């Protein structure tokens, strides 16, 4: 698969580029994602934020609740309001979860795994042989060696962010 990949919102005001392959692509079937997207699941490509470049107007970061109770920020076009990616509280702005459907060629990033399948819509049929788990997955089991190595590279930043978050929450 060749990179970069570009994407954006419907009105074309916000454009972005994924400079490299994402760490992992997951298709989340939790009820929270279903409610948030108004669809049966959310398809997110997890990538280090420094590998995601904004090419045109900057998206607006909207604070929203999350199932974890820690909240998330959703990057939305300030004009057409399309959700382009999210930053979840566990990693903050270090990681972006790009909405695959906003890519110019979303077919290039099929899911690596289906998660929270215990709450998937009963009429959604998963492809045979596709990794799936009832809730969340074990990164060590499912991520590629390359993605695990990339995670090691940003782990000190992630740990510092999480320590600061814990300190703020008291």
Give the total number of structural domains in the chain. Answer: 1
Domain holding 118, by residue range, is 5-169
Among the listed residues 155, 134, 170, 25, the one whose alpha carbon sits nearest the alpha carbon of residue 90: 155
CATH number at residue 163: 3.90.1590.10
Positive/negative CA dihedral, 29, 97, 132, 127: positive
What residues does 74 pair with on adjacent strands? 62, 86
Among the listed residues 60, 50, 21, 14, the one whose alpha carbon sits nearest the alpha carbon of residue 153: 50
Question: pLDDT means per 10 residues in the chain (170 residues)?
Answer: 93 98 96 91 97 96 79 93 93 95 97 97 96 96 97 94 85
| pLDDT score recorded for residue 105 | 97
| pLDDT score recorded for residue 166 | 84
Please, are residues 109 and 103 in contact by the beta-carbon 8 Å criterion? Answer: yes
| pLDDT score recorded for residue 40 | 95
| pLDDT score recorded for residue 66 | 73
| pLDDT score recorded for residue 165 | 82
| pLDDT score recorded for residue 20 | 97
């Amino acid at each position: 698969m060749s990179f970069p990949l570009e994407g954006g919102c419907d009105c074309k005001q916000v454009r972005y580029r994924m400079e490299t392959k994402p760490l992992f692509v997951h298709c989340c079937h939790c009820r929270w994602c279903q409610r948030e997207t108004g669809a049966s699941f959310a398809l997110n490509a997890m990538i280090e934020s420094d590998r995601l470049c904004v090419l045109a107007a900057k998206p607006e970061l909207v604070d929203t609740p999350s199932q974890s109770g820690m909240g998330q920020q959703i990057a939305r076009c300030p004009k057409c309001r399309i959700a382009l990616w999210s930053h979840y509280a566990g990693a903050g702005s270090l990681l972006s979860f790009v909405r695959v459907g906003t890519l110019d060629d979303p077919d290039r990033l099929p899911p690596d795994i289906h998660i929270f399948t215990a709450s998937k819509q009963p009429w959604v049929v998963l492809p045979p042989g596709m990794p799936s788990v009832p809730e969340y997955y074990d990164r060590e089991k499912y991520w590629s060696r390359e993605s695990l190595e990339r995670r090691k590279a940003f782990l000190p930043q992630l740990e510092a962010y999480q320590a600061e978050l814990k300190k703020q929450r008291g």
